[in-house]
């Protein structure tokens, strides 16, 4: 018989009991493996002693970080105010100008541009 058919034939109470027994066996094996692993790690001296947290130092560091963030925010606002025209929102496409003007200022407008002629095949 296929496995699914056998599974359907088992009464729910028996299924539940089998499930609990399998779970207990799994937990027992897991505890045994963890104890074995702990013994190996302890034997190899791979554990590090955790240092206690210095609360005062942690508070001081947090205050310094917050102060620096505040200072950077003020500098950002100052830059945005100084260069307001650059940071203005871009207008909608329909409101953008159709022609663009650009002016290139040359040092000497009458000076010839020296270039070499190369043959082109």
Whole-model pTM? 0.38
pLDDT in tens, 91-120: 888 888 888 788 887 777 777 777 777 777
Q: Are the C-beta atoms of 80 and 87 separated by less than 8 Å?
A: yes
Three-class SS of residue 88?
A: coil
pLDDT in tens, 33-46: 999 999 999 899 88
Beta carbons within 8 Å of 95's beta carbon, 6+ residues apart: none
| Alpha-carbon gap, residue 38 to 45, rounded angstroms | 10
Three-class SS of residue 68?
A: helix
42: tokens are: 């302890």
């Amino acid at each position: 018989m296929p496995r699914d058919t056998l599974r359907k034939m088992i009464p729910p109470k028996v299924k539940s009991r089998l499930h609990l027994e399998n779970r207990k066996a799994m937990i027992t094996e897991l505890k045994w493996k963890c104890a074995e692993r702990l013994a190996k790690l302890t034997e190899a001296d791979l554990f590090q002693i955790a240092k206690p947290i210095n609360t005062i130092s942690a508070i001081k560091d947090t205050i310094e970080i917050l102060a620096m963030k505040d200072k950077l925010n003020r500098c950002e606002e100052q830059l945005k105010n100084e260069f307001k025209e650059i940071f203005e929102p871009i207008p909608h496409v329909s409101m953008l100008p159709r022609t663009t003007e650009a002016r290139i200022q040359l040092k000497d407008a009458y000076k010839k541009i020296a270039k070499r002629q190369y043959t082109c095949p």
